């Protein structure tokens, strides 16, 4: 009995010791944001006096603080998404008017204040990358004399036209003609131009079920996150295509920021997919039925820090869908619907010329 009592007493003491350690471990106790004429400000208050190291990736609008932090959290504001995990806090800047390159941190006892200045130049534009699937030696699905690559490009060019006429956007195509671009090349191009959004256009096919029809929407899966994270975590040279070299050189920052960025890609991709599906159901479901949102490990969706979506616009193996997909008037309807969805995602109203 005495030994049993002593053992339980020791266990209780050990438990109290670790509880006391966790109670005093550094973590964020409060997050707030604010603005003035010159700065967007993020206030991170800790339960102790934090020591930090600042990393910035202006091209991808990512700011990272390497510091002791034991609690995982995610906080979303209009201009930023703030994600915390062990020893790292990552800020995804979503407002193109903010200048990530000139961000700075000031410590005020237990609070870190991150100052992100507003850009002084003309209003910044949202960067959108449109990816016409397949191309060149890769025709995609081919049925009834039609090639998927041509349909994808036709719709992509129409969407490109609509966005390029809106001064709030800077828009790119991963291919402008009938030539081959590798999947890795599409990923790297999207990261290189600092995209705020990526949308890949495809057509579906199921020769065993020709009655099957409708649009479907695909976002990055958990398996896709893990595979891309594993690849970039162990290949620093490859990771430099997606992160600032200073971030890549710090192994801890590289591994954690890549993971957090891919999770952001998935979460924001899902939000965008919901918006696109809503508009498709509203404006196009009478022509091509409105399908569901699915998670997949498609290569083009694996762009860390960029919301990505792949749209299968309809089934080429279905005669009705194929007619819509190859009809110039309906292609414009698809492009206009996607344009409306992009405006909604960025909380923008329809553009009207003065």
Query: pTM, whole model, 2 decimals?
Result: 0.86
Average pLDDT per block of 10 residues along the chain, 354 residues long: 46 44 69 89 90 93 90 90 93 94 92 92 87 98 97 98 96 98 97 96 97 98 96 94 93 92 94 96 96 97 96 98 98 98 92 70
Amino acid 7: pLDDT:
43
pLDDT of residue 37: 82
The answer to whether 205 and 315 have CB atoms below 8 angstroms apart is yes
d(CA 26, CA 345) in angstroms, rounded, equals: 36
End-to-end CA distance of the chain: 89
CB atoms within 10 A of CB 329: 7
pLDDT of residue 354: 56
């Amino acid at each position: 009995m005495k030994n049993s009592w002593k053992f339980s007493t020791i266990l209780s003491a050990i438990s109290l010791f670790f509880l006391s350690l966790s109670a005093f471990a550094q973590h964020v106790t409060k997050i707030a944001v604010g603005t003035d004429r010159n700065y967007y400000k993020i206030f991170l208050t800790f339960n102790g006096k934090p020591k930090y190291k600042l990393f910035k990736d202006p091209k991808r609008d990512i700011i990272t603080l390497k510091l002791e932090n034991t609690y995982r959290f995610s906080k979303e504001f209009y201009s930023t998404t703030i994600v915390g995990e062990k020893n790292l806090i990552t800020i995804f800047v979503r407002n193109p008017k903010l200048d990530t390159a000139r961000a700075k941190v000031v410590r005020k006892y237990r609070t870190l204040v991150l100052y992100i200045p507003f850009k002084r130049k003309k209003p910044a534009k949202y960067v959108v990358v449109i990816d016409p699937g397949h191309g060149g030696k890769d025709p995609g699905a081919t049925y009834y004399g039609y090639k998927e690559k041509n349909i994808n490009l036709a719709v992509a060019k129409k969407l490109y036209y609509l966005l390029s006429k809106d001064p709030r956007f800077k828009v790119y195509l991963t291919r402008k003609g009938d030539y081959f671009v590798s999947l890795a090349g599409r990923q790297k191009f999207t990261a290189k131009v600092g995209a705020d959004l990526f949308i890949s256009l495809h057509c579906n096919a199921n020769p065993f079920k020709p009655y099957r029809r409708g649009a479907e929407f695909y976002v990055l899966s958990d398996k896709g996150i893990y595979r891309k994270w594993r690849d970039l975590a162990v290949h620093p040279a490859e990771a430099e295509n997606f992160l600032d070299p200073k971030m890549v050189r710090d192994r801890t920052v590289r591994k954690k920021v890549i993971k957090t960025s891919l999770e952001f890609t998935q979460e924001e991709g899902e939000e965008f997919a919901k918006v696109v599906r809503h508009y498709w159901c509203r404006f196009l479901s009478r022509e091509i039925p409105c399908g569901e949102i699915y998670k997949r490990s498609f290569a083009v969706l694996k762009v860390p820090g960029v919301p990505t979506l792949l749209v299968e616009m309809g089934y080429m193996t279905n005669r009705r869908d194929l007619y819509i997909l190859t009809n110039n008037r309906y292609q414009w309807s698809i492009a206009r619907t996607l344009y409306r969805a992009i405006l909604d995602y960025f909380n923008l109203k329809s553009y009207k010329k003065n």
